[in-house]
Amino acid sequence: MSESQSRQGAIASQQPLAVRVGAEFAGSFFVCFAIYMMYSISAILFGVNMPFYVLATALAYAAVTAMFSKISGGQINPAVTIASMLTNATAVLDGILYIIAQVLGATAAAAVLRFILPTNDTVTLKTWFSTAVNGFDSASPTYSILSSANINFGVTMAIVAELIAGLIIVGTALRTSGAHCHGAGSHARAWSIGAAYGVATTITYPITGAALNPARSTGIALLGMNADLTQNPVEQLWVFWICPVLAAAIVSLVVIVARMIASNATRPTN
């Protein structure tokens, strides 16, 4: 089994950097295009639907992870890439290029969506984008319900929810990557990661619209910054970068400490 592991590790490192960066771009484009379509067109035409958001988000990340897991690892999310760099599973330069590719992929998806969406005087870009961007306070997807009762979901709540969601996503991605993944396991791993994004959507959607991935938040925010939204999405973007990155740092720290405890106990494992 250790032979199979090292062989797989070898295959992964054999993929040229350009191919791996391209995979991260394409993966981010596919996932974000699906998510933007869901939160703009379907949300506007068919209304809020939690099981749909949870299911489709889980399937999107699962399918794309399965597609690219043997090329770049299918990280897709800058938070996962940062955790992978901090735990030495991805080289720093590679990781930086992955993150740039992820953000560009998401931005391209948002740009394609903006290009194809039909608009006129009554149905504007604001109509389509207002439910697709991430936000809190007056930009939370449940603001209109909450404000009628004089409450709202503010920045503290957004940070706590996105942080916990980030821990689940990064924890699952890290625990199931690299040496933990053998042969047929790469598909099963894709499903575990999909499940993590599904849970994270459950936790965060009513508060922030389910950011979960800084690339996903950034792409639609950049294209929506001139869409006359009530709240400019770029101004709240810092939360959707800080929380996942903080989650990546915490998970990486826990993994490193756990490795040290385990290595002190008997001998290094995993």
Q: Segment 34-53, which members bind a copy of itself (CB under 8 A)? A: 34, 37-38, 41-42, 45-46, 48-52
Which stretch in 89-97, 99-107, 148-156, 232-240 sits in contact with a copy of itself by CB under 8 A?
148-156
Q: Which phi and psi angles does 208 have, rounded to 5°?
A: -120, -5
CB 19 within 8 A of CB 98: no
Report if residue 62 touches a copy of itself, rule: CB under 8 A: yes
Distance CA 2, CA 17 (A): 25
User: Which residue in 252, 195, 164 sits closest to 54, CA to CA?
Assistant: 195
Which stretch in 13-21, 211-219, 224-232, 238-246 sits in contact with a copy of itself by CB under 8 A?
13-21
| Rg, Å, the chain Cα set | 19
202-231 residues near a copy of itself, rule: CB under 8 A: 202-203, 205-207
CB of 96 to a copy of itself, least distance (A): 20
CB of 232 to a copy of itself, least distance (A): 23
Kindly report the number of other CB atoms within 10 A of residue 171's CB atom: 18
Selected from 100, 131, 185, 234, the binder of a copy of itself by CB under 8 A is: 185
Distance CA 37, CA 22 (A): 22
Q: Which is nearer to a copy of itself, 59 or 234 (CB)?
A: 59
CB of 104 to a copy of itself, least distance (A): 16
Amino acid at 96: I
Report if residue 93 touches a copy of itself, rule: CB under 8 A: no
DSSP 134: -
Report if residue 11 touches a copy of itself, rule: CB under 8 A: yes
Q: Is 210 left (phi over 0), alpha (psi -120 to 50) or beta?
A: left
Chain CA centroid to CA 3, Å: 32
151-180 residues near a copy of itself, rule: CB under 8 A: 151-154, 156-157, 160-161, 164, 167-168, 171-172, 175-176, 180
Report if residue 194 touches a copy of itself, rule: CB under 8 A: yes
